[in-house]
Structure 1
Amino acid sequence: MSQELELQGEVAPHQIGQRLDQTLAELFPDYSRSRIKEWILADRVFLDGRIANKPREKVLPGQEIVLNAVLEDEVRFEAQPIPLNIVYEDDDILVINKPADLVVHPGAGNPDGTVLNALLHHCPSIVEVPRAGIVHRLDKDTTGLMVVAKTVPAQTHLVTALQARNITREYEAIAIGKLTAGGLVDAAIGRHSTHRTQMAVKETGKPAVTHYRVAEKYRSHTRLRLRLETGRTHQIRVHMSHLGHPLVGDQLYGGRARLPKNAGPELVTVLRGFKRQALHAAMLELEHPITGELMQWHAPIPDDMVELAEILRQDTKDNPEEEY
């Protein structure tokens, strides 16, 4: 089975002179570059009302884009009875609190056992929605809140809201080193030139903005509250590493255990045993895609991060001469 979905967008100022297929990939990140190219060649893309069927065509700021997408059901993925921690659910959306060690979408190395497989089991009709309604992702070992669309109209509205930066996502994190004040990181992110599984700050990347503030100061670490303005892959992890303050436990971006001087055995054990990035999606706020109601959810900080914060707090008390 297949269905049609109209996607709308506008060429942004930073996209001037870009290829049409590249611009569509940025505007509609839920769809692969190859699928987007197929739609262009099939006369399904309109630029300011005219058919645009050349992937290499250059775009101009302010141009209106309409994409009449044809979507296939997600029948290639298996429904699996994987427990979901559902925070909220109605006929149009559901919000889950994702645990660590759970992949969101099947891919290389993770063909099943994912959030998507769980969604297909929990709500069989979601097979009709692209990517089983997944609007945004969390990394495998990042915990916290995700919104999922149960219908195509709900997904369309949520994707549009996400692109317009009308969905608020706040995170809790524990970073290595001392940050004395909050700030903003405005640094484009793209695929690392040599390590293809990693992202990196690079001029040719996509715009990425992260706001952060200090929530609590420890002797050699800092607990942060962060808000995403954009949603690039690994954004918070890359931006904090770029600042020289990678997240505790982030093996990919330099957050390997660094033991402060005179660290007690409990702190040593916890830091060395913290095998995931200390990152949690703690708050999600959005307008309901169908009713327009402003909704907000909070997810409690997971036990491993609570324990880490408590031990860092005690370590700071035990070493007052080295406090901020």
Structure 2
Amino acid sequence: MNSLTKVLEHRDFIVISKPSGLNFHSEDGELGVVERARQQFECELWPVHRLDKLTSGLLILATNKAAAAHFQELFSQGLINKYYLALASAKPKKKQGLVKGDMQKGRNGSWLLARSQDNPAITQFFSYSLAPQRRLFLLKPHTGRTHQLRVAMKSVGAPILGDKRYSGEDFLRGCLHAYALDFDWQGEQIQLASAAELFECEGLSEQLTVLSEPWQVSFPKLKG
């Protein structure tokens, strides 16, 4: 069992880097990332958000029940800014913008983006050309729906590499990475970006120098 990387240790939580291909929960006799973290770091931990098996990157685990409850409140109020990186082979319909719509269940565990706006999933993005047939996306979700970013990428005509469920091309792994977090924790500003476990691509390291602090990227203000 490979060791997990601890990116940040705080009195109330830790942030670890989850590898792509590792389940969130234990399943079919294989330990999930939360239980692995409990065993490796020898402490009780409470998950406060989740990442898909396909997704790598930053994952917050609370170290006490009070912190877990406070995180749930912050997430429900949209006060934790999350930034993801994704890699696609296709050029999107637009280089930057907003994806907004209700999520509907499709077949076999997949989800669909609807035109209705009753309780929409909301994602902003910028995209950057890296190499021939390789484009990097910086994604900022404002909601936390299941498969939200994967569906958003497909909806703009640029499914994530390795995400076969949503029409992505075959690749060594799923190219979606939880890259950065930005939030206020009881008066302490937490800003963290990590490329540990990130997919590899020509031109990526150069682009990351520009995106080293994604919370500084000027996303347009949402209306309403």
Equivalent in the alignment of 2:187: 292
Deviates more, 1:198-207 or 1:152-161: 198-207
Equivalent in the alignment of 2:178: 281
Equivalent in the alignment of 2:78: 165
Matched, 1:228 2:141: yes
Tell me by how many angstroms 1:206 deviates.
4.7
Matched, 1:119 2:37: yes
Q: Residues 204 and 182 from structure 1, CA distance in 2 versus in 1: closer, same or farther, beyond 3 angstroms?
A: closer
Equivalent in the alignment of 2:125: 212
Q: Residues 116 and 205 from structure 1, CA distance in 2 versus in 1: closer, same or farther, beyond 3 angstroms?
A: farther
| Deviation sequence 1:253-292 (CA, Å, 0-9, x none) | 00125xxxxxxxxxxxxxxxx132211111111222xx43
Look up the SS of the partner of 1:255 in the other structure: coil
Q: Which amino acid aligns with 2:109?
A: T
Residue identity over aligned pairs, in percent, reads 30
Computing the radius of gyration from Cα coordinates, the structure with the larger value is 1
Q: Residues 166 and 303 from structure 1, CA distance in 2 versus in 1: closer, same or farther, beyond 3 angstroms?
A: closer
Determine the C-alpha separation between the residues in 1 that align with 2:162 and 2:187. 39
Look up the SS of the partner of 1:252 in the other structure: helix
Higher relative contact order (CA 8 A, sep 6+): 2
Determine the C-alpha separation between the residues in 2 that align with 1:295 and 1:303. 21
Q: Which amino acid aligns with 2:112?
A: A
1:242-253 pair list within 5 angstroms = 242-253=155-166
Matched, 1:306 2:204: no
Aligned length: 203
Equivalent in the alignment of 2:24: 104
| Deviation sequence 1:201-245 (CA, Å, 0-9, x none) | 134985200100023354434211111101111111111112221
Greater share of helix: 1
Look up the SS of the partner of 2:201 in the other structure: helix
Determine the C-alpha separation between the residues in 2 that align with 1:218 and 1:97. 26
Matched, 1:191 2:105: yes
| Deviation sequence 1:83-108 (CA, Å, 0-9, x none) | 2200111231000111112111124x
* Unaligned runs of at least 5 residues, structure 2: 206-224
Look up the SS of the partner of 1:305 in the other structure: coil
Q: Residues 121 and 134 from structure 1, CA distance in 2 versus in 1: closer, same or farther, beyond 3 angstroms?
A: same
Look up the SS of the partner of 1:216 in the other structure: strand
1:169-180 pair list within 5 angstroms = 169-179=82-92
RMSD: 2.4
Determine the C-alpha separation between the residues in 2 that align with 1:303 and 1:181. 22
TM-score for the superposition, normalised by structure 1: 0.57
Q: Residues 83 and 221 from structure 1, CA distance in 2 versus in 1: closer, same or farther, beyond 3 angstroms?
A: closer
8 Å contact kept, 2:126–2:138: yes
Q: Residues 94 and 123 from structure 1, CA distance in 2 versus in 1: closer, same or farther, beyond 3 angstroms?
A: same
Q: 2:5 aligns with which of 85, 90, 99?
A: 85
8 Å contact kept, 1:237–1:246: yes
Determine the C-alpha separation between the residues in 1 that align with 2:135 and 2:196. 15
Equivalent in the alignment of 1:136: 49
8 Å contact kept, 2:91–2:157: no
Determine the C-alpha separation between the residues in 1 that align with 2:179 and 2:118. 27
8 Å contact kept, 1:143–1:281: yes
Determine the C-alpha separation between the residues in 2 that align with 1:254 and 1:308. 24
